[in-house]
Amino acid sequence: MKVHLIYFSPALSTRKIMRAIGKSMDVPFEELDVTMGFDEALSIDEGDLAVFGVPVYAGRVPKLATEAFHKIKGNNTPAVIVNVYGNRDYDDALLELRNICQENGFVPFAAGAFIARHSIFPKVAVNRPDEEDEEMIVGFAKKCYDKYLEKEEPKPLNVKGNYPYREHGPIPLVPKGNSSCDKCGTCVRLCPVGAISADHPRKTNKELCISCARCITVCPQHSRNFRGLVYGAVRRKFESKCAVRKENETFFS
């Protein structure tokens, strides 16, 4: 039996929570990070356990994650699904992720929606997941593994969300570099959509960028960030709207 952690995590918050889940199951696990794409086909055995995790983008599963997950097939394989979001809402993303997994031959029996610092507005949900969150993540993981070991006849997993899903919409906020950029090429190499050119690494192609904040996370010089008057106005409004702490949610079949 293997535990497979399969995730899309540009800003690394989802990866952190997925690893905490894997470690809390007290069995060896394998990681598959599909952030930079996944071109191969993969089949996961019925006796294994798959854990799928994504950040929430405007209430949806990121398109790049959807494309990668459709190349990973199960054979009535038990699955746990995880959303990570920045204290606004996960809207239809958990329902969408459940449906994606079911379409690909997995049987989701547990789901979690966990809070992490917002990747575009980092003052929202700052320092989360905190101690309280981490305790809940550990408890969730242990309960998931115990239910997996029970091998009971699967029941439908009901989660929050609506269908049809929210429409994907562009996020008109794009990060860029400042004068501290030394053209090391890290952001160029690690951008999932190739939105940064080696010739002009301070700039970002607005048509390609998905505002995933990966370039901000990986920049050794901390040169890249969301900036500008429009960003400042949106940030203040968003911070006010999302100031009240939200709590993690879990679901079991």
Domains of the chain: 3-164+247-252 (3.40.50.360), 186-241 (3.30.70)
Report pLDDT digits (tens) over 52-104.
999 999 999 999 999 999 999 999 999 999 999 999 999 999 999 999 999 99
Q: β-strands 72-74, 106-115: how paired?
A: unpaired
Angle between helices 131-150 and 13-24 (to 10 degrees): 50
DSSP letter at 105? T
Mean pLDDT across the chain, nearest whole number? 96
Read off the pLDDT band of 154 (50, 70, 90): confident
Q: Which residue bears the tokens 């980092």?
A: 122
pLDDT at 152 (0 to 100): 85
Pairing of strands 106-115, 249-252: antiparallel
The answer to whether the CB of 76 falls within 8 A of the CB of 44 is: no
Neighbours of 172 (CB within 10 A): 10
pLDDT at 170 over 80: no
Tens of pLDDT, residue by residue over 99-134, are 999 999 999 999 999 999 999 999 999 999 999 999
